[in-house]
Amino acid sequence: MTVLIAGGGIAGMTMALTCHQIGLSARVFESVDELKPLGVGINLQPNAVRELFELGLEEGLDEIGLEAQEWALLAMNGKDVWSETRGLSAGYRWPQYSVHRGRLQMLLYEAVVDRLGPDAVTTGHALTSYESRDGDIAAQFRTSDGQTVDETANLLIGADGLHSTVRSQMYPDQGEPRWGGAVMWRGTSQGIPIRTGNSFVLLGKLEHRFICYPISKPDPETGLSTINWIAERRFDAEQGWTKGDWNRQVDLEDFIEYFEDWIFDWLDVPGLIKESKAVLEYPMVDRDPVPSWVDGRAGLIGDAAHVMYPVGSNGASQAIVDTRILGAAFVEHGAGPTALNAYEGELLENISALVLRNRGDGPVGILGVVEERCGGTFDDIADVITREELDTFMANYKAAAGFAIETLNAAPPTIPPGVKATEAP
Ligand SMILES: Cc1cc2nc3c(=O)[nH]c(=O)nc-3n(C[C@H](O)[C@H](O)[C@H](O)COP(=O)(O)OP(=O)(O)OC[C@H]3O[C@@H](n4cnc5c(N)ncnc54)[C@H](O)[C@@H]3O)c2cc1C
């Protein structure tokens, strides 16, 4: 095995598909016993969709996702502060998709099994440590039936997410993820899509907001789509919160009071929340950027490398892009430590800056400016902020996050079709 991947999430599965595309042998070791379509909605930005299309997943993605058309920020009074087209209608050569995270993971998983074979993914194996051995890297796993297993490869890729064991071996003193005070309650409900029918809508103010967007095509008979929603409120970060866990289920009564009167003639927030079969609570956490994602023959990708606040909808997208930049480095330098360092050299500085930038509210920060100037009450947004100010704010974010339209459209494929990588010493 050339590349051993710890973690079978979005990053791990895309890494395996990328290795397969460039002719490297790879295996994924995942801690859970059975991969299930967990989570709620996520957005895939055009830069990540491009990479998935280049991996031949266009049809599958179109089947499970919904092309996003609009991204809109609305103040507490329900009026538009900013709205823009997204994806193809914004001029990108690739669409933006809203998709259920679990369905995306399953699409990638099935593609891995189909292309690399059923032995490419081993579940029930949690990585516990790694060490260099005779010019290779050896990884130790604890299996779900309590055994210890040892696997050796040329490289280890830590794609093991927010609580990455690979990262904690690199940085034993990093501590728990950092919580800035925001808590998100997330769910999916059946509802009639609003505005364009494919709109991402963020309503409210920085410390108290509601986000919703459809993640499925409407049922032809009822007109109902699956609507992904996130209700968010900021608390005093000093009080502490539970450890970040993507699957903690809570009761409506725990938070519905914060949104009870958010009723507009075009959106009934409490009504939508109450339609959800389950609500997941998640404290918005990230980690401080680290000086390196590489330790000899081990490298980090995805959330293990740079978990960030989801304010710009780019956590999953960046995880996908990471795997492609690393794949391109394998092609150029061979699959060895030099490629890991080249990948890090290309991304670490910018992505670390993005992690910190997202702490400052990312593109949603503009709502803070509006709130500061008028307390969120206005008839016409032009009386509060000029169009030029809005344009500059948004363009800066897009450039930093790697989805500036012209740059992306003009960029050659990250991995040209047909190229292959070799193993490097
Ligand atoms: C169950 C789950 C639900 C999520 N739901 C949402 C959501 O609703 N919305 C959202 O924006 N983001 C969600 N996320 C996070 C989102 O998937 C990531 O932010 C993003 O896609 C980057 O993906 P990743 O592959 O780096 O990390 P992840 O998607 O977190 O994947 C990491 C994988 O590594 C596995 N793993 C962890 N430790 C080990 C170990 N020691 N050895 C082997 N395997 C290990 C995990 O089980 C997981 O499958 C969720 C993550 C998980 C794990």
* Range in 72-86, 203-217, 224-238, 352-366 with the lowest mean pLDDT: 352-366
Chain centroid, CA 240 distance in Å:
24
What is the rounded average pLDDT for all residues in the chain?
92
DSSP state, residue 268: B
Mutate to test the pocket of ligand 1, among 28, 104, 128, 160 (most ligand atoms within 8 A of CB): 160
- CB under 8 Å to 48, separation ≥6 — which residues? 316, 317, 318, 320, 321
- CB under 8 Å to 387, separation ≥6 — which residues? none
Q: Evaluate if residue 240 carries a pLDDT over 80.
A: no
Query: Cβ(6) to ligand 1 under 6 A?
Result: yes
- Distances, alpha carbon 261 to alpha carbons 112, 211, 264, 271, in Å: 46, 15, 9, 10
Mutate to test the pocket of ligand 1, among 42, 157, 186, 230 (most ligand atoms within 8 A of CB): 42
Residue nearest to atom 52 of ligand 1 (CA): 246
Distance in Å, CA 370 to ligand 1 centroid: 34
Give the pairing of strands 41-44 and 97-100. antiparallel
Do residues 261 and 269 make contact, with C-beta atoms less than 8 angstroms apart?
no
**Partners of residue 211 on adjacent β-strands:** 202, 230
pLDDT above 70 covers a percentage of the chain that reads 97
Strands (E), 154-218: 155-158, 178-191, 199-205, 208-214
Which one has a higher pLDDT value, 309 or 329?
Answer: 329
Q: Evaluate if residue 402 carries a pLDDT over 70.
A: no
- Mean per-residue pLDDT for 391-395? 85
Q: Evaluate if residue 9 carries a pLDDT over 90.
A: yes
Query: Cβ(312) to ligand 1 under 6 A?
Result: no
pLDDT in tens, 169-215: 999 999 989 988 889 999 999 999 999 999 999 999 888 999 999 99
Structure confidence at residue 22 (pLDDT): 98
Q: Of 411, 347, 413, 364, nearest to 11 (Cα)? A: 347
Q: Evaluate if residue 244 carries a pLDDT over 80.
A: no
Q: Of 359, 351, 257, nearest to 305 (Cα)? A: 351
Structure confidence at residue 371 (pLDDT): 87
Distance in Å, CA 196 to ligand 1 centroid: 31
Q: Is the pTM of this model over 0.85?
A: yes
* Range in 3-12, 23-32, 179-188 with the lowest mean pLDDT: 179-188
Strands (E), 261-351: 279-286, 294-295, 298-300
Token code pair at residue 105: 């993971």
Give the pairing of strands 136-143 and 66-67. unpaired
Q: Evaluate if residue 55 carries a pLDDT over 80.
A: yes
